[in-house]
Amino acid sequence: MNKLLVITVLVALLAVSAESFRMPRQAEEEQGTLTKITDSIRSYYDSAVNTASGYLENLKGMKLEEKAKNLYADTTTVVSTYAGIAQDQLYHTFYHK
């Protein structure tokens, strides 16, 4: 009984190891013109997308959006201050008592 079990296990291991030694077939296919054109267009597109993504990451790293928001906030503060001064001057010019 034990010999039968050992032989069964050895045959199973041999079958599993023989299965792992199979080499996949490598069929040599000649690419057609349309396939070559499609592959080259796809590679150019992927390259362009990767480059644009890199540029966007660089811009995010510079924190330009935050700088633009700060510039807008500072500009509106200054403009509203000078607009208030101009409004007061015009009011006192026209309604001087």
- Residue 96 sits at φ, ψ, to 5 deg, of -80, 130
Give the mean pLDDT of the chain. 80
Percent of the chain with pLDDT over 70: 79
pLDDT at residue 21, as a whole number? 55
For the chain, give every domain's residue range: 33-62, 63-97
pLDDT at residue 83, as a whole number? 94
Asked whether the predicted pLDDT for residue 50 surpasses 80, the reply is yes
| Predicted model pTM | 0.38
pLDDT at residue 29, as a whole number? 61
Asked whether the predicted pLDDT for residue 35 surpasses 70, the reply is yes
DSSP string, 11-54: HHHHHHHHHHTPPPP----PPPHHHHHHHHHHHHHHHHHHHHHH
